[in-house]
Chains A and B, each alone.
Chain A
């Protein structure tokens, strides 16, 4: 729907060359690249909120994970002497663990101490920014992370990557392994939430924790599990940001709002994995379009600034949240701490 509007706008305003960006495989590949961290974080958010814990801390979790995946990769290579691909793999695990730990902090505050989950989440985002900036400048100074830092290079899926038809091979099957994992996580999250016993229980905890409790379900434990999972998934998203490509890199505030876009995607997707994935692809497309159109889009004699184009994904967010998707109803107990002793 929105893509259609954009095409329409494109047809109205842009020159012939700019319109050709839509048939350029690079645009669609960039869409996948941009969408990957969003998809992972959005899956994390969806699982957490389905259990009734509001999670706006994906930004912070991704940022901390991005830093630690780069740092661990660096140290694994320089101190433990691992080969580049081994170091990068260890780095990814480091990022996931860092994400889980930060998520554990959020879970602990909001489940154990019934803290306001929005405030905790925001605090974690700000804490993550401060922590990673401090560590980054203290450990790496102004030179930045080492130029030879190992990364996770793209991987061509045998056979499929050479499909010529509509350039499907290069677009879909010459991607980063983490991108494949991201889209696999959508399927797994769907099965987990809607087809497994633990998923059914997790959703019941997010809808009516007391009912779940009376049915003999351990509300607190499932919420810890869900929030920790969200940290792990966001952590993988953060590791992707830092390590995607032949060489890894961390830069200050490198998530730059992706966690919040993932949050929006979760809401636009109505707290379902496939819905959130769709929204992430849409936002990814917006980012890719902004990159592709940079310096090419003109209205009359005015060349549209790249900064205006960079606003595209956010405009899409507002349009999508503001009515195109209809009413998005969160899990009934989302954000409400559960206290078994409180009388019903």
Chain B
């Protein structure tokens, strides 16, 4: 017990033997944690370890089936978030609990609004929010509409909401998942400041770097149980990881250099609009060679989604060229092609939202494994499906990709996130692509499943597939990519060889903190493809 501030005798909040079941699943199994004023407690664990359930219990959103919550040593029961708020416990959720069309002030005061003569007192709401924002250095304008704010500022609105309710205990659920390195640093400054002012901070994460950087104490959850209580200063990432996954992890995936590369995809001066009609891509150019992973790094919402959609035919292109060398070595233009045509040319696609675009959740694993080729032999003839072939295909792919449970007829929606993603990988890989577009391929996956996806990508790369990897996780891009392109506000800020650039520089480029890099000029001189057919 040698944290910066030694724990006070009584925890400001504690869970004692909390149990929470969802049907047959025990999400929390007699979980006990304690957090002290002036301290930052990190709660770590893989996805599905029960962290979010525990926090939802502490914040009153869920009622436990067993155990109790102690506030300053006294047992307390929450029937709704309202009770938790009243007891001084506030939560910044992983998915922000904000109303996009409301202003900052409206969002902050919602539920505890100032009133004058029967009407909602907008003026006072604005004043209070401005005062609190200044007091904690959050720099928010009460009149801004939340939907127009960058993610980092939206998070501050969440923090402000809690402070406005005079919470003593602040719970952060994976707060850095959507932040850039700079925004993360700024958040940490705010957190340390809050702890210094005597608040209790509970910080949920699976990023060990952050645990080491910010926390005083660490509680590790695995499969719904507490497996370790550690003091941060006395532990290290390896020990925490061992507790988290119950074994040692392999170091980051190794990659061999592949020589003799040919350009498979070339994008030239691409312009696209977003759904709202704003210019989302403003002249994007890059190329991807065979046997190479090009990583696109950037804060979400800077045109990555639109880029991927343009490449896969899901979004119309305003101007610019997209050229592909297909399986037969023929060069073809992808602009103004349908998604199906593009697929047939040898482009495979792992979409960023597998539940929305990658799979039909109510369909079976076997059926999901043939989407895209369901209208061709051998799976269908003259418009009639061949169930035998479809099942055979599933029985071949399920063991190959270790899909669990190994049942071809299970609805995909009943599988875990990791196994759902394996279904997508199995389908996309088996089409023998020349270009693979992977958009946020490990989002929401735990360490084990993410490792599987990374291995799969590396394997494809070694088979000579050109891979475009779009990820909001800078660590992932840096670990996998041979070259890294940074995208910011619809423009490529620079393209770098892996290892020639550090995280800080990338972070700066990702947030527009540094003007476009010189490297881009070099990149444009790369081998060019010429379209050999109309398009």
Contact = CB atoms under 8 A, between A and B. Distances in A.
Contact of B110 (A195, A204, A343, A344): A204
Given A200-B110, A212-B111, A340-B61, 16 more contacts: A195-B120, A197-B119, A200-B120, A204-B110, A207-B102, A208-B100, A211-B97, A211-B98, A211-B110, A212-B99, A213-B61, A216-B85, A216-B112, A217-B82, A217-B111, A218-B80
B111 A215 contact: yes
B455 interface: no
B97 A214 contact: yes
Interface string B91-118: 1011111111110001000111101001
A247 B90 CA distance: 60
B438 to A, nearest CB: 26
Interface string B48-65: 000011001001011000
Interface string A333-344: 000000011011
A170 interface: no
A326 to B, nearest CB: 12
B99 A196 contact: no
A210 B96 CA distance: 10
Chain B interface extent, by class: 20 to 34
A259 B59 CA distance: 43
Contacts of B119: 191, 195-197
A214 B59 contact: yes
Interface residues of A, number: 25
B364 to A, nearest CB: 24
A25 to B, nearest CB: 38
B250 to A, nearest CB: 31
Nearest to B22: A343
Contacts of A231: none
Given A196-B118, A200-B120, A215 B161 contact: yes
B120 A214 contact: no
Contacts of A197: 113, 115, 119-120
Given A200-B120, A208-B97, A332-B100, A214 B106 contact: no
A275 to B, nearest CB: 15
Contacts of B113: 197, 200-201
A197 to B, nearest CB: 5
Contacts of A344: 52, 93-95
Contacts of B61: 213-214, 340
A217 B110 contact: yes
Interface string B140-173: 0000000000000000000001000000000000
A334 B335 CA distance: 36
A210 B81 CA distance: 10
Nearest to A200: B120
Contact of B99 (A211, A213, A343): A211
A235 interface: no
B95 A216 contact: no
A34 B112 CA distance: 42
